[in-house]
Amino acid sequence: MPPGHPNGVRADRNWPLRFDFTTPMASAPATLTVDSPEVHDAHAHDHPPHLQHHFVSSEQQFDAAKMGMWLFLATEILLFSGMFVAYAVFRTLYPATYEACATALNTMQGAFNTLVLLGSSLTVALAINAIQRDDQKGLQRYLLLTLLGAAIFLVVKYFEYTHKFHSGIFPGLAFHPYGEEFGHLATVPYARQFFSLYYVSTGIHAIHIIAGMVVLSWVYLKARKGTFSSSYYTHVELGGLYWHLVDVIWIFLFPLLYLIH
């Protein structure tokens, strides 16, 4: 390198990160992958069919997809965090209201649903375990079981909702409780707000359950066609991660809404 430069380009100045020149250059490929739309198929035999052209290896593709999924889960957690913050704020402001209303919710239904969701989380984990061992039948069986768990959760939720609707417990301005079980809530100040939060947060959670069911059904259809194997099961893994997140959200929603007296 020229030691000095008439125009101020200082070749001799230490690059502040010079230790970094010890990169895995030695293992760098001597010939490089070349790609253009037309020639893509020409060397497709080099790659497994699921490998997209802009990735170098299946491993890179799988890692990227998984990291993307985790980032998406991060956004989901922050989405729900807004509702948790609203809950925490109003619980602090109106503690008596929140206690009275939480008592009115059916703890056993909530606990049952918690167990159902935990069980479906287990079956998704088992589905991934099955495909990692190339067990196609096991994968399909466990995916179906997961979908069944989701369906049970929604059915229980349906009965919870309709039971409340019959006593006039609606979200928002339509809230007008009556009857033996819920009538006393009419005198509790801001009870409407608790039930609105309840409906909004469990409602958005239920939408996520439905979305998860759609995703897992799609994965199941792909699994039936035999798309997946122990070397390629990205969709199962990502669908599973999403399903676990739905479970994680419920793990927090359940004690906050149903339990804390």
Partner 1 sequence: MAHPASHSDAAHDDGHHGHYVAPVSLLLKVFAALVFFTVLTVATGRADWIPSALHVPIALTIALIKVVLVAMFFMGLKHDNRVNTVILSLTTIFVIVFLGFTLFDVTQRGDLGNVDQMTAADRAYMMHEDSVRYAQTAAVTAALADSTAAADSAAAPSAASPDSTAAP
Partner 2 sequence: MAQTLTADPHAPTAHGHAAHPTDGSYNYLNYDKTFMSWAKTVDHKRIGLMYMVTLALVFLVAGLFAIALRTELIATNWTNYAAGEQDAAGTIMNANTYNWVFTMHGAMMTFLFLVPSVPAILGNFVLPLHLGAKDVAFPRLNLASYYFYIAGAVLVIASLFVGQLDTGWTFYMPYSARTNGSVTFLTMAIFIAGFSSIFTGLNFIVTIHKMRAPGLTWNRLPLFVWAMYAVSLVQVLATPVLGITMLLLFTERIFGVGIFDPALGGDPILFQHMFWFYSHPAVYIMILPAFGIISELMGTFSRQRLYGYRAVALSSVAIALLGFLVWGHHMFVSGQSAISSIIFSLITYLIGIPSGIKVFNWVTTMYKGSIWLQTPMIYALMFIFLFTIGGLTGVMVGVLAVDVALHDTYYVVAHFHYVMMGGTVIALIGGMYYWFPKMFGKMYSERWAKIFSLFVFVGFNTTFFTQFLLGAKGMPRRYWDYIPMYEHLHQISTIGSYILAVGLFGVLGTWIWGLMKGRKAPQNPWGAATLEWTHATSPPDPHNFTATPVVTRGPYDYYLADEVFLTRNAPSSGDGAAGDGSDGDVPQGDGSGDGAAATVVARPIVRDFKPH
Minimum Å distance from CB 234 to partner 2?
12
Judged by CB, which is closer to partner 2: 53, or 224? 53
Judged by CB, which is closer to partner 1: 73, or 144? 73
199-258 binders of partner 1 (CB under 8 A):
230-231, 240-241, 244, 247-248, 251-252, 254-256, 258
Minimum Å distance from CB 208 to partner 2?
13
Minimum Å distance from CB 55 to partner 1?
8
Minimum Å distance from CB 231 to partner 2?
19
259 near partner 2, judged by CB under 8 A:
no
> What is the contact mask toward partner 1 in residues 12 to 41, using x (rule: CB under 8 A)?
-----------xxx-xxx---x--------
Which of 41, 49, 173, 261 binds partner 2 (CB under 8 A)? It is 173
248 near partner 2, judged by CB under 8 A:
no
H/E/C letters for each residue in the chain?
A: CCCCCCCCCCCCCCCCCHHHHCCHHHHCCCCCCCCCCCCCHHHHHHCCCCCCCCCCCHHHHHHHHHHHHHHHHHHHHHHHHHHHHHHHHHHHHCHHHHHHHHHHCCHHHHHHHHHHHHHHHHHHHHHHHHHHCCCHHHHHHHHHHHHHHHHHHHHHHHHHHHHHHHCCCCCHHHCCCCHHHHHHHHHCCCHHHHHHHHHHHHHHHHHHHHHHHHHHHHHHHHHHCCCCECCECHHHHHHHHHHHHHHHHHHHHHHHHHHCC
Which of 96, 118, 174, 210 binds partner 2 (CB under 8 A)? It is 174
10 near partner 2, judged by CB under 8 A:
yes
